[in-house]
Structure 1
């Protein structure tokens, strides 16, 4: 019989963070703190298969992409026992973990597993596409899906560090912000209707997006609310100024206040849309977006909730 108090399924992306933490290093950290590691690479299709009933929780080691992929895989599985998720982030941006106040120090995170709190984590649901779509970070229109596409089309073979990657992303985002044509948008936020021409709308479940931009100061992925960020044509210069200041290393708040929301209906007359890191390409969109409250539980340090 496995030790039910110490068995952890570790799903690890060995390539994340330029291989910053190896399988051997993470397993050793876990062993030092008395945890038995049930290891599987995130590259394997079996990452979420044959999970022992005694497993205490599932640890995800990697960047936002690995975390997102694993969580979506968990949501699609009908596991016999619901298990909390522990995050060991060491990707480039680590927006998900940072929004939860989770350190990028893997050893420190493992050391808190014996004395932790569970934090609720919501999931967004979007209806109106060919099939229902779900997101854990954000869903949005305009600038950011355009940025994702631009970066995918850019030759980055000479990019060697996370700092250089952030610099490139911010420069590209500034170029896009200056040139992006505003689109007509109709949005209903818990019954309140807004209609304007926008360059960006983001429905945030976490506080950060893209190259570690904190678009919503108060966003809490477990509070049962989205934070909606609407950047109209009239806000273009403020957006440009914000990106320029962030690129200079300034720590400044986002200039446009977010709007809390539970239920959203939105029509966007444009092709640019993303759901987390996935781009959609349709001529226009009419979506109904709702929040699935407390669908997940994430392990955090008790001090984070203090």
Structure 2
């Protein structure tokens, strides 16, 4: 009997192609029996209790992280996960080296060895949350505040990614420096920063490869941060990246300090905090960052003198909430064909599937 695959699909993600029917046909042509699940169903967790030989997720980073966290929360579930990236940024897929379209990836599954995906857990007195991509504080968290999606946008993926990079550049340029108090595997770091990202994968947000050496399966997190003295260098890197569109190979690595570790503790003083693509509700942060909050910060920085700022900094430090971020024990098996399909036969197969 043919192996059973459970396809979890976000039909509204990114480019929205291939369609549901096209995906099912491609997977069946690879020799699987397919059970289809809409990623937005409220009972998706329960639907993934039905074990198959392979769970396939077709969507963007939010959908991939959602399905991965559901599987990781099920101790009895050991089914591999195959990723079909059809979102906008596709950071998780690209961190695994998955660069092809679904019609080129699916025929290569049988020749692909399994890899590992680690995940992390953020703990504080408000509880704990799992994450796949990472935890962000400061500028990138603020710049990626959820906004209503314009489904009529005709300009496509590249335009949306570049617009996100422009918004991030604006946030970095105007970011108020924050005093960073962080411990990475027992090593204490203290500095003035404009960006902090604790990453499980190599890139985040609008395809920003802030941790080029990160391995999503090595059971380590990469703490990436930018000090105030390197702000201008980061702005120059972003300018080059925006100008060269999506080609990070041209502009080189970012001017970001990175430190690997498995357990990170941060004295969180209320700055914007993002876990994967969500903004959890925590003391001091009742909602995601708002325009009113940003305006209030600007006004405060103008009227406060140096003595007041020092007093406020001391109060923030004294009242900081400790957030512990660490690698969880469990890993997920990932089916991740890397690079581009090669050869005339592969190209003909792709064209044939597009015509059908």
Question: In proportion to residue count, which structure has more strand?
Answer: 1
Instruction: Identify the match of residue 185 of structure 2 among 171, 190, 212.
Output: 190
| Structure 1 residue 302: Cα displacement | 7.5
Q: CA deviation at 1:263?
A: 1.2
Q: Is the 8 A contact 1:186 1:195 kept in 2?
A: yes
**Aligned ranges 1:35-50 → 2 under 5 Å:** 35-50=32-47
Q: For 1:153 and 1:247, locate their aligned partners in 2 and report how far apart those are by CA, in whole Å.
A: 23
Of 186-195 and 99-108, more deviation after overlay is shown by 99-108
Q: Distance in 2 between matches of 1:192 and 1:83?
A: 37
Per the alignment, residue 244 of structure 1 pairs with 239
User: 1:99 and 2:95 equivalent?
Assistant: yes
Q: Is the 8 A contact 1:121 1:293 kept in 2?
A: no
Per the TM alignment, residue 53 of structure 1 is displaced from its structure 2 partner at its CA by 5.9
Q: How does 1:162-241 map to 2 (within 5 A)?
A: 162-241=157-236
- Selected match of 1:89 from 85, 91, 101: 85
- Quote the offset at 1:279 in angstroms: 1.6
1:13-38 Cα offsets, whole Å, 9 max, x none, are 11112421111101111121111111
Alpha carbons of 1:45 and 1:193: their partners in 2 closer, same or farther (altered >3 Å)?
Answer: same
Aligned length: 299
Aligned to 1:108: 104
Q: Aligned to 2:327, which of 283, 291, 306?
A: 291
Higher-Rg structure is 2
Quote how far apart the aligned CAs of 1:153 are: 7.0
More helix by share: 2
Please state how far the C-alpha of 1:73 moved relative to its aligned partner: 2.2
Which residue matches 1:256?
256
The answer as to whether partners of 2:98 and 2:338 remain within 8 angstroms in 1 is no
- Give per-residue Cα distances to partners, 1:51-107, cap 9 Å, x unaligned: 5866101000111111111122223345x4411101011110100010011133102
1:301 deviation in Å? 2.7
CA distance in 2, matches of 1:130, 1:209: 25
Question: 1:121–1:158: structure 2 CA closer, same or farther, 3 Å change rule?
Answer: closer
Distance 1:153 1:198, change over 3 A: farther
Matches of 2:36 and 2:212 in 1, distance apart? 36
Separation of aligned partners in 2, 1:302 and 1:182:
39
**What TM-score does the superposition give when structure 1 sets the normalisation length?**
0.90
Distance 1:154 1:134, change over 3 A: same
1:277 positional shift: 0.5
1:11 is aligned to 8
SS of the equivalent of 1:114 reads helix
Change in 2 beyond 3 A, CA 1:156/1:170: farther
SS in 2 for 1:109: helix
Tell me which residue corresponds to 2:64.
Answer: 67
Q: 2:134 aligns with which of 122, 127, 138?
A: 138
CA offset at residue 160 of structure 1?
3.1
Distance 1:96 1:58, change over 3 A: same
Give unmatched runs, 5+ long, in structure 1.
Answer: none
Contact 1:159 1:165 in 2 (8 A): no
| TM-aligned CA deviation for residue 203 of structure 1 | 0.5
**Structure 2 residue runs without a partner (length 5+):** 245-249, 285-319, 341-356
Change over 3 Å in CA distance of 1:145–1:52 after alignment to 2: closer
Q: TM-score when scaled to structure 2?
A: 0.78
Q: Which runs of 4+ in 1 moved over 4 A?
A: 50-54, 153-159
1:207 Cα deviation after fit: 0.2
